[in-house]
């Protein structure tokens, strides 16, 4: 899969390159956030707390990684705690 076809975790942004003295220069680079680069914990948090629109692509990535998801209701979570 090419990078342009890969799903994003969050939007890309422009990042200024800092010089040797630590101050930003006029040079920039684009920082991209693809789903394949994100940790498993961040994906699980995004599934639980994120937009319903994006849940399917996060679940597909976890399935590709071989992670088994166990769905629990709020009632089951409350009885464990």
pTM of the model: 0.73
Query: Per residue of the chain (81 residues), what is the pLDDT tens digit?
Result: 455 678 999 999 999 999 999 998 999 999 999 999 999 999 999 999 989 989 999 999 999 999 998 888 888 878 876
State the first-to-last Cα distance of the chain, in angstroms, to the nearest integer: 42
Is 35 within 8 Å of 43 (Cβ atoms)? yes
CA-to-CA dists, residue 46 to 15, 25, 74, angstroms: 24, 34, 17
DSSP designation for 25: E
């Amino acid at each position: 899969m090419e990078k342009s076809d890969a799903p994003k975790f969050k939007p890309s942004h422009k990042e200024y390159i800092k010089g040797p003295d630590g101050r930003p220069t006029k040079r920039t680079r684009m920082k991209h956030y693809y789903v394949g680069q994100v940790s498993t914990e961040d994906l699980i948090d995004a599934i639980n707390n994120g937009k319903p629109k994006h849940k399917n692509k996060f679940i597909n990535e976890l399935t590709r990684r071989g992670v088994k998801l166990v769905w629990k209701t709020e009632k089951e979570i409350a009885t464990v705690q």
